[in-house]
Amino acid sequence: MQPNVSQIIECNIHDLGLHGEGIGAINNFTVFIQGALPKEFVRAKVTQVKKKYAIATLISVLKQSKDRINPKCPYFEKCGGCQIMHLSYDGQLFYKKKRIEDAFLRIAKLKLEKEVIMHKSPDEFAYRNKIQLPATKEQGVLKLGLYARGSHDIIPHDKCLIHSKLGEKIYTRVLQALEKSSLTPYDEKSMKGELRHVLIRTAVFNKEALITFITTKAPSCELKAVAKKIFDDLDEVKGIMHHKNAKATNAVFDRDFTNLFGRDHIFENLSNLSFKLSSASFFQVNSFQAEKLYKRAIELSGLTKNDTALDAYCGIGTLTLLAAIKARHVTGIEVVPSAIDDAKGNMERNKISNVSFVCAKVEDKIHEMGALDVVFLNPPRKGCDKHVIATINKKRPKTLIYVSCDPATLARDTKLLIEGGYKLDMLEGFDMFPQTMHVETLAKFTLELP
């Protein structure tokens, strides 16, 4: 029996949803309650009723979980950046592991023989090397912030606890400069205003930063003055970029970038290699954990100097170049032209020659590849194109290493790979995003059927 809107309910919470909401039930009807935690008994008010579930607002916790803690961030209750800061770190790891196991049981129809190993993040806070902040106004003063949970309302922030220490130092100076300026924030509803977002990218190992101002028009004299002040004041800021996006869209980036001061890129070191990062480059946001993830991926691959490998969805070539140190030859395929340009530059900078980079969709090129011993798959959230999996099942490389940011699509692709003759040998979770429900998963497959 469905509850009614505005009805006050009391229920037990037994799990967490994809966005960190507690999952309970009333008369066997599923209810999602933001802020509730598993093993709690709560009182809540129903706000929406759908065909198969209801959404309710937490009123009070009648029986509290032992894993509930006081969130460190003063903005947590409203901000959408973190979903589970009120859950102990051990609790976060437990439910991320459970999310992986549940996805494999539900989607791949696979009860895992081995327990999923969870790798803790080296830091629970101050780990993000990139942050993008929408502009707003508070009491007539220009501010930066993050979107409120489930909306595009902007919550002004003076700090972000999961942002890197260097990034926060720069953010403080940027905010001070903007507050003293006459720049106007962009308003999505009226589509008026100049400043849309500020993106701060930091190289946490190399101690460099790149700032990008996203506005609705060409850089104004006021914006240039603000940028010059920041560039002159902070030695770690190696470049300041401008990006014009005048479209009525939620997308942060459109197309072209303009260099205002310094370089249009920074360099980051990872596992003794140097990588060039521009404003739009894809790079794992947790550099310390990324180093652990890539090291483990190479280790599990078992690459030798006799092996030919493919890095599908290679981005700027991070994993490609790390694999090349161990392999005879590695090919990286990526659809984004600027990423391939950066990958080639990274190859030259690190003096690695046994690598080829191809700019194309993986599904359009993988069938042209010769014999492969090892394939690395690191697709976007939607997972691999079905033609990629089908081609791998035909080519039959001996080892597959799959890095996934969504356990559900990994489980879907796992089912297809097992049907094609592969065995899932290892499944490990890497907490790349503490305080959120996101989890990175590393899987190893070996060819079982000749």
Cα 415 to Cα 408: distance, rounded to the nearest angstrom: 11
The C-alpha R_g of the chain, in whole angstroms, comes to 23
Contact by Cβ (8 Å): 320, 298: no
By CB neighbour count within 10 A (0-12 exposed, 13-18 middle, 19+ buried), where does 52 fall? exposed
β-sheet bridge partners, residue 325: none
Q: CA nearest 435: which of 57, 119, 108, 19?
A: 19
Annotated catalytic residue, options 79, 160, 384, 405: 405
Tokens encoding 206: 């190399």
341 phi, psi to nearest 5 deg:
-60, -45
Q: 186: annotated binding-site residue?
A: no
Q: 284: annotated binding-site residue?
A: yes
Helices (H) and strands (E) in the chain, counts: 9, 22
β-sheet bridge partners, residue 29: 26
Owner of token pair 């909401």: 21
CB neighbours of residue 382 within 10 Å = 10
The continuous run of DSSP H or E covering 417 comes out as helix 407-419
Work out the angle at residue 86's Cα, subtended by the Cα atoms of residues 83 and 14, and round it to the nearest 5 degrees.
80
CB neighbours of residue 257 within 10 Å = 18
Cα 378 to Cα 339: distance, rounded to the nearest angstrom: 14
Contact by Cβ (8 Å): 228, 267: no
β-sheet bridge partners, residue 424: 445
Q: Give, as one character, the DSSP assignment of residue 181.
A: S
Beta strands in 81-164 (DSSP E): 117-119, 130-138, 141-147, 154-156
CB neighbours of residue 190 within 10 Å = 7
Q: What 3-state DSSP class applies to 324?
A: helix
Cα 233 to Cα 405: distance, rounded to the nearest angstrom: 37
Contact by Cβ (8 Å): 116, 428: yes
Task: Identify whether 82 is a catalytic site residue.
Answer: no
Known binding site for S-adenosyl-L-methionine: residues? 284, 313, 334, 378
Residues with catalytic roles:
405
Known binding site: residues? 284, 313, 334, 378
